[in-house]
Amino acid sequence: MAMNRPTLKVLFQIAVVLAAIAIFTGVSSASLMLRKPSVDIFAAQGDISYGEVILDNVSDKPLHIKASFAGDADCSSWVRLESEEFVIPAGSSRSLKIIADVPYDISGDHSTAVVYSYQAGQLQGPDDLILNIKMHIEMAVNVHVAGTFQAAN
C-alpha cells in the first residue's frame, strides 16, 4: 500500500501559515500585560480579603477580556473575581479585584490561577481558511490564611 506524500505546495502553505502564526502571535501577545505575575492575599479565617491585579491594554484596539479560574483548585468555592467579563479601551488600564471570602474552617496556604482570555485577531490561512487567534494569560493567586500555619514534624 503506497502512502500519499504531501505535495510541495501543501508543505509550503503549511510553512507559511505556521510562520505567520508565530509572528502574529508574538506581536499580539503583547496586547495585554499584567503588572505583576501573581497576587498574594493575606486573610484570616472568616474574613473577606482582597487582592488586586492591574491589566494594561498596550494595543491600539479595545480588548474584550474574559477572566476565569483555571482548574478545580481547593479554594474555587470561596475565591472569586470582581468581574469575569469586561472591556479595556485601547491604551488603557483596568484594576481588577480578587475576593477571598475565607470560611472559618480553612487554614494554611491555598492557590489557584486566573486565566485572562481575549481575541487577538484573525489570520488568513490557505484555501480561504480564516484562523481566529485567541490569547490566554495565566496569573497565580495565592491565599495565605494567617494564624493557621503548622510546623512540619
Condensed to tens digits (0 to 9), the pLDDT of residues 116-131 reads 999 877 777 777 888 7
Which domain CATH number covers 94? 2.60.40.10
Residue 43 lies in a domain: yes
Whether 12 shows a pLDDT value over 80: the answer reads no
Instruction: Determine the pLDDT at residue 138.
Output: 92
pLDDT tens per residue across span 94-119: 999 999 999 999 999 999 999 999 98
Residue 15 lies in a domain: no
Residue type (1 letter), 93 = S
Phi first, then psi, for residue 74 (nearest 5°) are -65, -15
Higher pLDDT, 52 or 15: 52
| % of the chain beyond a pLDDT of 90 | 52
SS3 of residue 15 by DSSP:
helix
Higher pLDDT, 39 or 15: 39
Residue 123 lies in a domain: yes
Q: What domain range includes position 82?
A: 31-145
| % of the chain beyond a pLDDT of 70 | 78
Check if the beta carbon of residue 86 is closer than 8 Å to that of residue 94.
yes
As a whole number of angstroms, the distance between CA 68 and CA 4 comes to: 44
Residue 73 banded pLDDT, cuts 50, 70, 90:
confident
Residue 23 lies in a domain: no
